[in-house]
Amino acid sequence: MGFSTKAIHAGIEPDPTTGSLMTPIHLTSTYAQEDLGRNKGYEYSRVSNPTRTVLEKNIAALENGKEGLAFGSGMAAETAIFQLLKSGDHCVVSQNVYGGTYRLAKLVLADFGLQFDFIDTTDLAAVKSALKPNTRMVFIETPTNPTMEITDLRAVARLAQSRKIISVVDNTFATPYLQNPLDFGIDIVLHSATKYLNGHSDMLGGLVVLNDAKLTERLRFIQKSTGGILSPFEAWMCLRGIKTLAVRMARHDSNATEVAAFLNTQRKVKKVNYPGLVGHPQHRLAKKQMRGFGGMISFDLGSLDKAKKFLKSVRLCALAESLGGVESLISHPATMTHASVPPEERLRIGVTDGLVRISVGIEDLEDIIDDLKQALSKI
């Protein structure tokens, strides 16, 4: 079954009661039981819900996995994954991850005894050197947010397997349309469903996909115990969005390729980060493990003042947090997504004050480029 067909049909059946083609939104907290210990597969909606179940089956199919779990946000999903660890355990994390991941690790979970080192995971030797006797997890983001670095999934998976370490990949930027980490041997795939999977900037959610039965059982227990679940309505919204994921991602990808090429010719742009550019350090690796390069680009304008002038001047592109919507969204990582990362750490990983990140939408390409062109002229 092809990707587009799976996106539309996987896990989805007409409602047996009414024949409704669209999955019903089961707005119920509890379920009538036939007898003690006998039910129709559902007891309480914190544990499971029919609408959520359909979404979980759908995303599992798209990621070529066996099990899916739906959470109330990407960070709720990420928190549950880190709760697989115990106090004293060590985790290696890509140095250039979403700022919320850094905030969760350093400012919340470290207080509970978890240890984190943020490493350049594009360098396998650096990953090996960072491993300790108490390392229990490697958490990768590829492409990274916001500098678009690419990590070799197969190499990291093999290293983790050899040390019996859990490997996790945040696949939000690439989506299952462009990349399937489980196929490379990764244990757990994470998505902020808020972004490309939903694609319309109108819901929050997080999704996790995996194959291992023991890890699945533990994550389901954590989810049941902590309650970070996705609501039935949000699950329905995400299912609706996923149906058009393939056509949207193809347009995001083609638009971003042209926008990156345009930015790469502009003298006011100091550097463009996009894995589709031949000059990107991991361009060949991206071609090898991805089926396209996605809709995310970052570029450096050289200073905070220039970035401010540029961001104030855009008209079509919306200055906003988040990404992955049908509309083009533009942001300033240093003061928005990565504000919780210390300034010296931001500079070390390339998140400069002049860096701008754009989530290229599916508008007409000429309109996007015209907007960027007029904003650049104001600098």
- The residues annotated as belonging to the active site are 46, 98, 170, 195
Contact 113, 87 (CB under 8 A): yes
Orientation of helix 99-107 relative to helix 74-82, angle to 10°: 40
In terms of Cβ atoms closer than 10 Å to its own Cβ (0-12, 13-18, 19+), residue 32 is: exposed
Q: Name the 3-class secondary structure at 166.
A: strand
Amino acid at 317: C
First to last CA, the chain: 49
- CA angle centred on 351, ends 297 and 179, rounded to 5°: 40
Q: Is 19 left (phi over 0), alpha (psi -120 to 50) or beta?
A: left
Contact 50, 31 (CB under 8 A): no
Rounded-to-integer distance, Cα 372 and Cα 168, Å: 35
Question: Tokens for 81?
Answer: 């994954």
| H/E segment holding residue 30 | none
Burial 247-263 (b: 16+ CB within 10 A, else e): ebbebbbbbbbebbebb
What lies within 8 Å, CB to CB, of 110 at 6+ separation is 116
Contact 223, 45 (CB under 8 A): no
Q: How many Å is the Cα radius of gyration of the chain?
A: 21
Q: Is 315 left (phi over 0), alpha (psi -120 to 50) or beta?
A: alpha
Rounded-to-integer distance, Cα 293 and Cα 375, Å: 25
The torsion angle over the Cα atoms of residues 163, 168, 174 and 176, rounded to 10 degrees, is 100
What lies within 8 Å, CB to CB, of 227 at 6+ separation is 46
**Residue written as token pair 């990949």:** 169
